[in-house]
Structure 1
Amino acid sequence: MIYFLIVIYSTIFISFIQVAAECLPTNKPFLFRFSECNYCKKTLPIHQIIPIFSFLFLKGKSKCCKKSIPISYFLLEMLTPVYILFLYQQFSFSYEFFLCCITYYFLAFFFITDILYMYIPNSIIILFTITLLFVYCLFDQPIVNLIISVGVSMIFYMLFFLIFRKGIGLGDIKLFIILSSFLGFKTGYYIFFLAILIGTIILLIAVAAKKIKKNKQVPFVPYIFTSFMLISVLLN
């Protein structure tokens, strides 16, 4: 029963996260409103907004205007319950479970805002930090360790930003500081290194294939999100 509930609620919540990430940067309301088509803005009935099922039922296209539904919706709705179930299997409802779950959902939010708007809202970064701090204190984790991690992380990533500021955004640096502070500097550094490695490889391939221009600014949070998931799975 618990596995069924995790699948249902994790899928519903990631669906909500996607709507919030689309609407919040443009100041559109996303609470207590009817879902609408991304293209023609027509209000969607219940059977067209059911996570996973609706995408498959509609064959990836909106019923009202026959345009493609972003594949990211479907992929995140498929990936999320698998990842949350993995965390539950590894940690049950422990501190590590809630830490990784919270980080996953916030990074998923930033993943979408970065792709759509090249924007990482400071208000949500603050909420991310407060939520992690609340969970950290709730599970009575050592404050001294957190203070040391915060100090080391801020020095390392701010120095990196000052030296290579044209290659990475300040919003990305803030995320790395948060990740390294709460996950531990070593884990945060692995995520940082892997994100840069993946991003560099994909960027070089895209430039070689002439898909993007050499100096074009590209979203970096997708690589952070991917690296976090890989590292959290591999280290556990």
Structure 2
Amino acid sequence: MDPSLSSQNILPAILGIFFGSFINTLIDRIPKSTPIFFSRSKCDLCKKSLAPSELIPIISYLFLKGKCKTCKGKINSRIPIIEFLTGLITHLVFQNHNLDFNLIPIISSIYILIAISTIDLEYKIIPNKLILPSNLIAILASPFWNVVSTPKTFQGVSGIIASFINSSLSGIGSMTLPLIIFLKYPKGMGGGDWKLALFTGIILGSPGILLAWWITSITGGLIAIYLLAIKKKNLKYEIPYGIFISFGALLILTFGDSVITTIRYII
């Protein structure tokens, strides 16, 4: 095997695993308003600060058999799962996208969506501390990158201004329905969902956001049918909407042109 090809396959995954560890830090600390960079990691149960040997992504969890070294309390299994999934997704991104500047905002957006989705699942919130800065950075960076090979256009024109307009209108369009639902039925959709929809619209642009919402509708509908089938009637309390909003965007960000080509073939 060509060593360069082997490195190209392995290194992104390793990088992603370590970023997954940082994502876990965001998930644990942002909802609790704990400082992200100036506070040592601690066991959730005994509150003892963790040694460096206890912070090695995935390996520490396996070596400790999923238990705290001090109190033997159970470590949240979400930690290695997020690390593994982030490593896998990072690997897939490198396989499906060109090695250029676009990789930075694509991977950054994916990591943000992973963090937001998991926080929404665990805490039933989408924190303003994470989503508002993400939206600001996304709109400022939107003129300079594309998720897919086809540039974002406006009225058939491409370029920085057209890309900015495309992302802005896509963001507004994406957030409109969730915002209306939130304003009319606050208990039916959270205040963070429309902000997340705005974020996905900005980063994907058009037509990417249309395909993302198509994926979201299909997956959300299937899960809703399943929950109804097993008599889980109170759907809004079962799975937060943020996960559905993120899922379609994550697929398109990860696979780029490949998933768009596949969806167009299916449709």
Give the TM-score category using the shorter length. Answer: 0.7 to 0.9
Which of residues 253, 260, 263 is equivalent to 1:235? 260
Q: Compute the displacement of 1:183 (Å).
A: 0.3
Partner of 1:114: 120
What amino acid sits opposite 1:184 in the alignment?
G
Matches of 1:91 and 1:174, distance apart in 2: 27
Matches of 2:51 and 2:25, distance apart in 1: 16
Partner of 2:189: 168
Provide, for residues 35-63 of structure 1, a one-character-per-residue CA deviation record: whole Å limited to 9, x for no partner.
Answer: 11122211222121111111221222333
Query: Aligned with 2:30: secondary structure?
Result: helix
The answer to whether 1:226 aligns with 2:247 is yes
TM superposition score normalised by structure 2: 0.74
TM superposition score normalised by structure 1: 0.82
Query: Aligned with 2:40: secondary structure?
Result: coil
Conservation of the 8 A alpha-carbon contact between 1:149 and 1:181: yes
Partner of 1:190: 211
The answer to whether 1:214 aligns with 2:231 is no
Matches of 1:55 and 1:191, distance apart in 2: 34
Conservation of the 8 A alpha-carbon contact between 1:35 and 1:43: yes
Matches of 2:221 and 2:46, distance apart in 1: 37
Which of residues 166, 169, 190 is equivalent to 1:148? 169
Q: Compute the displacement of 1:159 (Å).
A: 4.2
Partner of 1:17: 23
Shift in CA distance, 225/147, structure 1 to aligned 2, threshold 3 Å: closer
Conservation of the 8 A alpha-carbon contact between 2:20 and 2:87: no
Conservation of the 8 A alpha-carbon contact between 1:95 and 1:135: no
Partner of 2:94: 88
- With 155-164 and 83-92 compared, the bigger mean Cα shift is at 155-164
Conservation of the 8 A alpha-carbon contact between 1:153 and 1:185: no
Q: Compute the displacement of 1:221 (Å).
A: 2.3
Answer with 1 or 2: which has the greater Rg.
2
Aligned residues: 235
